[in-house]
């Protein structure tokens, strides 16, 4: 089938592999990508899919949170995030069992078909000025399918990349997807300017998402059958599909807990996402309190997210070198300590300072996430990798929602709460302590 030889990840015991090429020059990296045609096709699919996701998320945020025809306070913001992300976060690991059960190519095709139909539905609801709840429920399913695609792409990466290049190619894939999502989110400002910030303008933006989603569907079809896995092995979950789905959370969580490199980095990642949730609510409430024009408020909020995204992009570039120098144990520890110090500086609640802190926190958090992704791609058997990636996705968003809901109960009307920002420092330090303790025994190298 054209696979690169010996794709399969081995259990956590095999952790002594060097995964970063010596030559990190951009030209050498590009040659490595060109030499892996199936990885390049996976990269194209990720870029197109995440561009559409960025456009959809930004269009939805503009249509619901920064729409002159609708209003949103702290609890409405928290409720919107909860409706959009919490249900799939609870159900995702059950569905994730399908990524390790069925041909991942077919799963990607079906998920993109579903996204295409539902995006049209959400755009139509906005066009007719329907209330928030039906729109959020439709967007919930779109987001669930999008995250299903993202987990499938991550689980499939070791099938198209040699083991000794997983860290480097994962960084390239993450950087490409993050940049695509960033451009998609910012592209939203163009049709918003042309068609307006009201419901009809928002519906145009959402309907534009059908173009990248349709392209993602076509790119999914191009892969040969079984190219993206899963591989069968002694650790595969056998039995009926119903049994595999019903026990998805059990097998996923059990695998996470059994692999120290995975459980340690996911603890650090959860701490980062909780702090990101705190900061997101603080910025959104402060912006809505200080900016009377919806476009100005959206621009300030987009600036904060852009700063975090730019920092994450930089982390994608430097993380392979950091991991090569310090290893997969020390690198996340250092990133979490650094993030704790940066978060303390952000307690001034000065928006320009918070933008700078957002950049640095985005970089630190992405270092931790890349180490978590690498642990799952290298240290987890392919027959269970889809389970683990959906558990990571669930933890990723549940931590965010819990933090943003808790902050909504405490944040003042103007959003100025230095105490919440300082609490973020404590969360980072707690995450670092768990990571250092759980991962200590492995002392992972690349």
The average pLDDT across 64-90 equals 72
pLDDT number for residue 32: 76
Residue 120 confidence (pLDDT) above 90:
yes
User: pLDDT for 408-420, tens place per residue?
Assistant: 888 887 778 899 9
pLDDT number for residue 122: 94
pLDDT number for residue 302: 72
Helices 166-187 and 132-156 pack at an angle, to 10 degrees, of 160
In a domain, 380, yes or no: yes
How many structural domains compose the chain? 1
pLDDT tier at 208, thresholds 50, 70, 90: very high
The average pLDDT across 310-329 equals 89
pLDDT number for residue 52: 95
The whole domain housing 107 covers: 36-229+239-439
Are 184 and 198 in contact, with CB atoms under 8 Å apart? no
pLDDT tier at 87, thresholds 50, 70, 90: confident
Are 411 and 282 in contact, with CB atoms under 8 Å apart? yes
The average pLDDT across 352-377 equals 92
Degrees (nearest 5) of the Cα angle 178, 439, 342? 50
% residues pLDDT > 90 (the chain): 35
User: pLDDT for 234-251, tens place per residue?
Assistant: 566 666 666 766 777 888
Mean model confidence pLDDT for the chain: 83
DSSP character for 22?
S
Cα 57 to Cα 50, 208, 231, 241, 439: the distances in Å are: 10, 12, 33, 32, 35
In a domain, 395, yes or no: yes
In a domain, 23, yes or no: no
% residues pLDDT > 70 (the chain): 84
pLDDT tier at 298, thresholds 50, 70, 90: low
What's the gap between Cα 199 and its chain centre? Answer: 27
The average pLDDT across 185-203 equals 87
Are 336 and 293 in contact, with CB atoms under 8 Å apart? no
Residue 178 confidence (pLDDT) above 70:
yes
Q: What are the phi and psi torsion angles at 241 (to 5°)?
A: -60, -40
Residue 282 confidence (pLDDT) above 80:
yes
pLDDT tier at 357, thresholds 50, 70, 90: very high
Residue 335 confidence (pLDDT) above 50:
yes
CA distance linking residue 194 with residue 275, whole number of Å: 35
The average pLDDT across 188-215 equals 91
Of 107, 111, 64, the C-alpha closest to 84 is: 64
What CATH number corresponds to the domain at position 322? 1.20.1250.20
Strands (E), 13-64: none
In a domain, 260, yes or no: yes
Non-local (6+) Cβ contacts of 379 within 8 A are 9, 10, 11, 12, 14, 15, 259, 261, 262
Other C-beta atoms closer than 10 Å to the C-beta of 5 total: 6
Alpha helices in 291-350 (DSSP H): 294-345
Cα 320 to Cα 91, 345, 438: the distances in Å are: 33, 27, 22
Residue 446 confidence (pLDDT) above 70:
no
Q: Give the residue, 104 or 66, on which the prediction is more confident.
A: 104
Handedness of CA 281, 119, 49, 248 (dihedral sign): positive
CA distance linking residue 323 with residue 329, whole number of Å: 9
- Residue 321: helix, strand or coil by DSSP? helix
In a domain, 78, yes or no: yes
CA distance linking residue 22 with residue 327, whole number of Å: 15
pLDDT tier at 402, thresholds 50, 70, 90: very high
In a domain, 3, yes or no: no
Non-local (6+) Cβ contacts of 44 within 8 A are 219
In a domain, 424, yes or no: yes
pLDDT number for residue 35: 84
pLDDT number for residue 79: 78
Q: Is the peptide bond before 230 cis (omega within 30 degrees of 0)?
A: yes
CA distance linking residue 148 with residue 443, whole number of Å: 31
In a domain, 5, yes or no: no
User: pLDDT for 2-60, tens place per residue?
Assistant: 444 344 443 333 333 334 444 444 666 677 787 888 999 999 999 999 999 999 988 88
CA distance linking residue 211 with residue 405, whole number of Å: 34
């Amino acid at each position: 089938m054209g696979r690169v030889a010996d794709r399969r990840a081995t259990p956590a015991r095999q952790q002594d592999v060097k995964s970063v090429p010596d030559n990190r020059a951009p030209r050498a990296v590009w040659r490595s990508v060109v030499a892996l045609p199936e990885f390049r096709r996976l990269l194209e699919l990720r870029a197109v899919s995440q561009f559409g996701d960025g456009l959809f998320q930004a269009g939805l945020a503009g249509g619901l949170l920064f729409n002159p025809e609708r209003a949103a306070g702290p609890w409405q913001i928290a409720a919107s995030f909860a409706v959009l992300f919490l249900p799939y976060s609870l159900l995702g690991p059950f569905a994730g069992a399908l990524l390790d059960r069925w041909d991942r190519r077919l799963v990607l095709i079906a998920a993109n078909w579903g996204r295409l139909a539902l995006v049209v539905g959400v755009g139509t609801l906005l066009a007719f000025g329907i209330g928030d709840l039906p729109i959020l429920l439709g967007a919930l399913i779109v987001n669930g399918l999008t995250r299903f695609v993202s987990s499938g792409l991550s689980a499939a990466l070791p099938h198209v990349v040699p083991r000794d290049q997983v860290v480097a190619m994962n960084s390239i894939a993450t950087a490409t997807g993050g940049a695509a999502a960033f451009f998609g989110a910012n592209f939203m400002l163009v049709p918003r300017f042309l068609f307006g910030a009201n419901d009809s303008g928002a519906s145009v933006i959402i309907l534009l998402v059908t173009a990248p989603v349709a392209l993602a569907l076509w790119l999914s079809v191009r892969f040969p059958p079984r190219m993206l896995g899963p591989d069968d092995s002694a650790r595969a979950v056998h039995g009926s599909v119903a049994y595999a789905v019903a026990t998805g959370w059990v097998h996923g969580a059990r695998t996470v807990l059994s692999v120290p490199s995975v459980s340690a980095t996911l603890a650090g990642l959860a701490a980062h996402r909780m702090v990101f949730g705190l900061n997101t609510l603080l910025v959104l409430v402060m912006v809505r309190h200080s900016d009377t024009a919806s476009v100005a408020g959206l621009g300030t909020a987009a600036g904060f997210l852009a700063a975090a995204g730019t920092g994450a992009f930089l982390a994608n570039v430097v993380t392979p070198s950091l991991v090569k120098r310090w290893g997969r144990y020390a690198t996340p520890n250092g990133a979490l300590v650094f993030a704790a110090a940066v978060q303390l500086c952000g307690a001034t609640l000065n928006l320009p300072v918070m933008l700078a802190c957002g950049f640095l926190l985005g970089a630190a958090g992405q270092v931790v996430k890349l180490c978590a992704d690498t642990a799952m791609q290298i240290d987890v058997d392919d027959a269970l990798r889809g389970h683990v990636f959906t558990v990571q996705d669930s933890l990723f968003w549940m931590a965010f929602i819990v933090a943003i809901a808790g902050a909504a109960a405490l944040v003042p009307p103007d959003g100025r709460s230095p105490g919440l920002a300082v609490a973020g420092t404590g969360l980072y330090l707690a995450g670092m302590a768990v990571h250092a303790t759980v991962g200590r025994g492995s002392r992972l190298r690349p």
